[in-house]
Amino acid sequence: MRIVAGQFKGRPIQAPKSDATRPTSDRARESLFNMLAHAPWAPDLDGARVIDLFAGSGALGFEAISRGASFCLFVDTAHAARGAIRQNIDTLSLFGKTRIHRRSATDLGEKPAGLGTPFNLAFMDPPYHKGLVEPCLNVLRAGGWLAEDALIVVETAADEDPDLTGWDLITDRSIGAAKVWFLKAA
């Protein structure tokens, strides 16, 4: 895997040494970020505060930083995932722009004050077919993790249909075996 565009274009990203993660492919990330770069409803990546939930390798968060995001919080419970993210942070020298949060994305609690202002862009790429989208969306809202106009980008299996009650679906796209949903709070 490599970063597709921006400051770190072409730089490799380490993935966890585990079958438990399913990294978003370079092609899928390119499609996703092309939409974010050109859609009138997407936040400006320049200076964006990003949260990467179920982060795995951190590919989505690192791509956002490469394209101008000012900060990314990577959230994952898996030891191998956090190790890969830590290695990528070290390789890219991103210590001041990143933080790793060892917490379940479905049990975040209140956003700690030390993490700064709420996030205006959230990536959520949970394991497929586990019913994790709805509880994660609920804790993001209840815990004050999201800015008022935040965009949430959710990746699911193409055949999944999460309950998005309470969220405005801006659009969705099929990308290979995945479906990407673009949401804002209703």
Look at residue 20 in the predicted model and tell me its pLDDT.
60
Mean pLDDT of 123-144: 96
Q: Considering only 16-25, 29-38, 95-104, which range has the smallest mean pLDDT?
A: 16-25
pLDDT digits (tens, 9 = 90+) for 54-68: 999 999 999 999 999
Look at residue 186 in the predicted model and tell me its pLDDT.
84
Mean pLDDT of 71-85: 96
Compare 51 and 185 and report the one with higher pLDDT: 51
Res 17 pLDDT > 90: no
Surface-to-core class of residue 21, CB atoms within 10 Å of its CB (0-12 exposed, 13-18 middle, 19+ buried):
buried
How confident is residue 97, by pLDDT bands cut at 50, 70 and 90?
A: very high
Look at residue 28 in the predicted model and tell me its pLDDT.
81
For residue 175, what are the CA distances in angstroms to 14, 35, 60, 65, 149?
Answer: 22, 12, 15, 22, 25
Res 1 pLDDT > 70: yes
Mean pLDDT of 100-126: 95
Res 18 pLDDT > 70: no
Res 26 pLDDT > 90: no
Res 104 pLDDT > 80: yes
Mean pLDDT of 17-38: 79
Q: Which long-range contacts (CB under 8 A, 24 or more apart) does 68-73 make?
A: 68/6, 68/7, 68/44, 69/45, 69/97, 69/121, 70/97, 71/97, 71/98, 71/99, 71/116, 72/97, 72/98, 72/99, 73/98, 73/99, 73/100, 73/101, 73/115, 73/119
Q: Which structure tokens are listed for 21? A: 């993660």
How confident is residue 19, by pLDDT bands cut at 50, 70 and 90?
A: low
Q: Considering only 5-19, 36-50, 122-136, which range has the smallest mean pLDDT?
A: 5-19
